[in-house]
Amino acid sequence: MSDTRSLSQDLQTQILDSVRKGQDAVLDLVKSYVVKPYEEVVKSYVVKPYEEAVKSPAVKPFEDAVKSWSDAVGALVPQLPAASEVADKLPKPAELVDEAFAFAEQLLAAQKEFAHKMLEATAPLVDYARK
């Protein structure tokens, strides 16, 4: 029995190690081929052209039109809290991840408890089958 348990634990350890290695590889790929290039694209094609365009005198009439429209709409819309006020009240992404995994742990613990209770409840059937 202990040999079986040991083999099972060894197998679980190997599987978890493999999953972690796979996760690390995916994370490295995302950092190298998604995040870094995305940052470069944003800098090259969004930030730099925007900064250059904002300096252009042709932008002034557009800014005035947008401001007029914004002022008119602002008068119609009830006052909403500033984004900075709301942002501080929102959970951080890491907190959301921690909460989701805490829930998953609780759910897994409940499933484990249920499985043990099912084994306990069906033990008489197992004993009967062994006779």
Note down the domain range covering 57.
Answer: 1-78
- For residue 84, which phi and psi values (nearest 5 degrees)? -65, -35
Q: What is the pLDDT along the chain (131 residues), one digit of tens a residue?
A: 567 778 878 888 898 888 888 888 888 888 888 778 878 887 887 778 877 777 778 778 878 888 888 888 777 777 777 777 888 888 899 999 999 999 999 999 999 999 999 888 888 887 777 77
CA distance 80 to 105: 38
pTM: 0.43
* 40 and 16 within one domain: yes
Tokens of 17: 């190690």
The whole-number pLDDT of residue 113 equals 93
Structural domain count, the chain: 2
* 60 and 1 within one domain: yes
**Residue with structure tokens 């202990």?**
2
* 92 and 117 within one domain: yes
* 93 and 74 within one domain: no
Which residues, including other chains, have CB under 8 Å from residue 102's CB and lie 6 or more apart? none
Tokens of 55: 């300096």
* 65 and 28 within one domain: yes
